[in-house]
Amino acid sequence: MTALVVIGGWGLPVEVLEPLARDWRGECFYFGLDQPLSSVVNTPEAFADTLLAQVPDGAAWLGWSLGGQLAMLAASRAVIPPAGVVTLCSTPAFVERPGWELGMARVRFEAFVQGMRANAEREWRRFLLLQIRGDERATEARRALNPWLEQGVPAALASLQCTLGWLETLDLRELWQAPPCPALHILGARDPLVDAAIAEQPGMRSRFLSIPEMAHWPHSPYWGSVRQSVIGSIAAWE
Residue 202, pLDDT score: 87
| Rounded Cα gap, residues 71 and 167, in angstroms | 14
Please report the pLDDT score of residue 36 as a whole number: 76
Are residues 87 and 80 in contact, defined by beta-carbon separation less than 8 angstroms?
Answer: no
The answer to whether residues 185 and 209 touch, using CB atoms and an 8 Å cutoff, is yes
Distances (CA, A) of 235 to 60, 81, 190, 203: 10, 16, 28, 26
Q: What is the reported pLDDT for 86?
A: 96
Q: Residues 62, 8: contact at Cβ < 8 Å? A: no
pLDDT at residue 205 in the model: 83
Report the Cα 9 to chain-centroid distance in Å: 5
What separation in angstroms does the CA of 189 have from each of 113, 180, 213?
A: 26, 26, 6
Cα atoms in the 13 Å half-sphere on the side-chain side of 154: 19
pLDDT of residue 233: 86
pTM: 0.95
Query: Would you give per-residue pLDDT tens digits along the chain (238 residues)?
Result: 789 999 999 988 899 999 888 878 889 999 998 877 777 788 999 999 999 999 999 999 999 999 999 999 999 999 999 999 999 999 999 999 999 999 999 999 999 999 999 999 999 999 999 999 999 888 988 998 999 999 888 777 788 888 999 999 999 999 999 999 999 999 999 999 999 999 999 888 889 999 999 999 888 788 788 888 888 888 888 7
**CATH code for residues 4-237:** 3.40.50.1820
pLDDT of residue 230: 82
> Residue 217 has what pLDDT?
85
